[in-house]
Structure 1
Amino acid sequence: MTPPSRTRPFGRALCAMVTPFTDEGRLDLDGAQRLAERLVGEGCDGLVLSGTTGESPTTTDAEKSALVRAVVEAVGDRAAIVAGVGTSDTLHTVELAREAEKAGADGLLVVTPYYSRPPQDAVEAHFREIADASALPLALYDIPGRTGTRIEPETMLRLAEHPRIVAVKDCAYDLLGTQKVLARTDLAYYTGCDEYALALYAVGGAGYISTVANVVPGLLRGILDAFDAGDTEGAAHRQRQANALIELVMASGLPGTVTTKALLNSLGLAAGPVRAPLRPAGREATDGLLAEYERLVAAV
């Protein structure tokens, strides 16, 4: 059995990659390349850079471009590289989109403008202007819990008519609304909520853009692989196995960037500190993450 036919412009299994920093807080390009190579080697079809997990609000424009160049150099054409370029300023987002294209990105992730809470006609105009600014395909990032503004399903339907708007990173927690858009467009929906990896895939989603994949990329890909092989029971079992770690990483009261970097650092993998105003996870939280990771690895 295979899932319903959908275009998958960036593959199925994507990681929302952390941005490694040195102990002094500078961009760690060597670490980023090592992490990217590991993620691709363990099953990631694509890497999303400078998203929420990548601490995009606290990296400079120059750092974002340098990160794309370094990761493209490391993985070549073995994975799609999607650059997060969204800001609350349309003109700034256009500039970042063009720079990402020059740096070698394969696609763009564009979040809804935040804080100003624009109405839907302004949201639509914003995305169309970015889509017209480069030749790269766009994934719209719908995460109203952070931005304060939803991309409403009717707006999605209109935006789907643009030839370069091809995908959605879906963090709206509205599976019914998502399915309405899936039924009427060819947009490739990637869940950004790891606990929905199987659920969205089973109703025609393209895959996931996962934070937890920084740590267990192979396990999460195994959910999709089992489903594609017709092993729905196995896919559900893998999803349930992963959910305890997903909850600790994503819903423990700490941002996913903080928990993911804490776990990566504990495992001796490239991550480094978070940038202020984020603060590192405490010892108790880190120990709990590591214990659950070890339990999960032992179980699979």
Structure 2
Amino acid sequence: MLTADAKGVCVICPTPFTPDGALDETSAATMTEAYVAAGATGLTILGIMGEAPKLDQEEAMALLRVVLRHAQGLPVIVGVSAPGYAPMRALAARAMEAGAAGVMIAPPSGLRGDDAALAWLQGAAEAVAPAPWVLQDFPQANGVHLSPRVIAALAADPRCVMLKAEDWPGLDKIATLVGMMAKGEMRRIAIYGGNGGLFLPEETLRGADGVMTGYAFPEMLVRLRALLAEGQREAAMDLFEAHLPLIRTEHQPGLGLAVRKYVLARRGIIAHPTLRAPAPKLSDATRAEVEAMLARLARRDPLARLPAAA
């Protein structure tokens, strides 16, 4: 089970599809094995970047079963966010029965004010019981701003084990929560950054326990955290800055997942860069820009040395 002591790199997994839009279970297996080999300490499926709304529940369960078979014991978190409690309850129950380590919940759009957000999320936590759960704080996606007071109140639930902190700007918020835990003003839970890894060095230095994102080179995330832990801040920043153009390009709203899947396919981690329709497609110009970024990155990080594009 997922616990509040979690640390490291939890990779957000995309959902692989074949060119005709069918679930690609073979790629789901190779993807999972690649993330394990990269040093991931956990995996998350059916998140915002997992195209979860485009899957029916049977497809979601098929994906989970493949990932669990190939995760070599790593904890697998399942996104169960939905506008209402009934689908969350159903998916959480099936996921936990299949072997998931926990579930992730984000509030729906439309909640206004601390009291409304707190009440809805407390109800959601009851709906997914007895599963351990991760709170996703991502106001850029849903417009719901969670104050430190609300997060502390939710953390009082012993099944709330992690915050995925994606508020922006959010570094002071992370520092506030870390300080509240140090003073005993809120229960200790793990804090993981997100936002594609754009602020990973700063989040780590502010006290975050890890990162939960799907950047196409998760090995870099693992190495960067190790360098910071060893006190090699300049080396960590050099590594991060080499990858930053691609991280930024992957983080574009709407188009970012298409870029990420393109790079993952170029790396051989998934077989096809397909997004399930309706979805944006990369233009020839965008693909050329991504190839140029990969070529520049390869001069600074051998990880990005890939065969020539077909």
Same fold per superposition (TM over 0.5): yes
Check the 8 A contact 1:131/1:138 in 2, yes or no: yes
For structure 2, the residue ranges without an aligned partner over 5 or more in a row are 182-187, 302-310
- Deviation digits for residues 175-203 of structure 1, max 9, x if unmatched? 21222122113221111121111111111
Identity %: 25
Pick closer, same or farther for the CA change 1:138–1:224 going to 2, 3 Å: same
Cα root mean square deviation, aligned: 1.8
Check the 8 A contact 1:263/1:286 in 2, yes or no: no
After alignment, is 202-211 or 282-291 more displaced?
282-291
Pick closer, same or farther for the CA change 1:8–1:242 going to 2, 3 Å: farther
Q: Report the secondary structure of 2:249's partner residue.
A: helix
Question: Shift in Å at residue 35 of structure 1?
Answer: 0.4
Check the 8 A contact 1:211/1:256 in 2, yes or no: no
Report what 1:297 is aligned to.
Answer: 298
Check the 8 A contact 1:16/1:51 in 2, yes or no: yes
**CA distance in 2 between partners of 1:30 and 1:45 (Å):** 22
* Counterpart check, 1:34 vs 2:30: yes
**CA distance in 2 between partners of 1:90 and 1:121 (Å):** 18
**CA distance in 2 between partners of 1:64 and 1:296 (Å):** 34
**CA distance in 2 between partners of 1:103 and 1:118 (Å):** 35
Question: Shift in Å at residue 134 of structure 1?
Answer: 2.8
Equivalence map 1:1-300=2 (5 Å): 7-9=4-6, 11-77=7-73, 79-114=74-109, 116-132=110-126, 133-173=128-168, 174-185=170-181, 186-193=188-195, 194-212=197-215, 215-251=216-252, 254-270=254-270, 271-300=272-301
Question: Shift in Å at residue 256 of structure 1?
Answer: 2.3
**CA distance in 1 between partners of 2:299 and 2:14 (Å):** 25
After alignment, is 176-185 or 34-43 more displaced?
176-185
Structure 2 letter corresponding to 1:232 = R
Report what 1:3 is aligned to.
Answer: none
Pick closer, same or farther for the CA change 1:102–1:255 going to 2, 3 Å: farther
- Deviation digits for residues 76-116 of structure 1, max 9, x if unmatched? 31x221111111112221222112111211111111112x3
Structure 2 letter corresponding to 1:106 = A
**CA distance in 1 between partners of 2:63 and 2:245 (Å):** 31
Question: Shift in Å at residue 219 of structure 1?
Answer: 1.3
Check the 8 A contact 1:192/1:210 in 2, yes or no: yes
Check the 8 A contact 2:34/2:269 in 1, yes or no: no
Check the 8 A contact 1:90/1:126 in 2, yes or no: no
Question: Shift in Å at residue 165 of structure 1?
Answer: 0.6
TM-score of the superposition, structure 1-length normalised? 0.90
**CA distance in 2 between partners of 1:158 and 1:247 (Å):** 33
Check the 8 A contact 1:135/1:164 in 2, yes or no: yes
Check the 8 A contact 2:36/2:72 in 1, yes or no: no
Question: Shift in Å at residue 272 of structure 1?
Answer: 3.6
Check the 8 A contact 1:262/1:280 in 2, yes or no: no
**CA distance in 1 between partners of 2:210 and 2:289 (Å):** 28
TM-score of the superposition, structure 2-length normalised? 0.87
- Deviation digits for residues 103-162 of structure 1, max 9, x if unmatched? 211111111112x33543332233323333333321111111111212222110101111
**CA distance in 1 between partners of 2:135 and 2:175 (Å):** 16
Q: Report the secondary structure of 2:48's partner residue.
A: coil
**CA distance in 1 between partners of 2:5 and 2:18 (Å):** 34
For structure 1, the residue ranges without an aligned partner over 5 or more in a row are 1-5
> 4+ runs of 1 displaced by more than 6 Å?
none
Check the 8 A contact 1:12/1:208 in 2, yes or no: yes
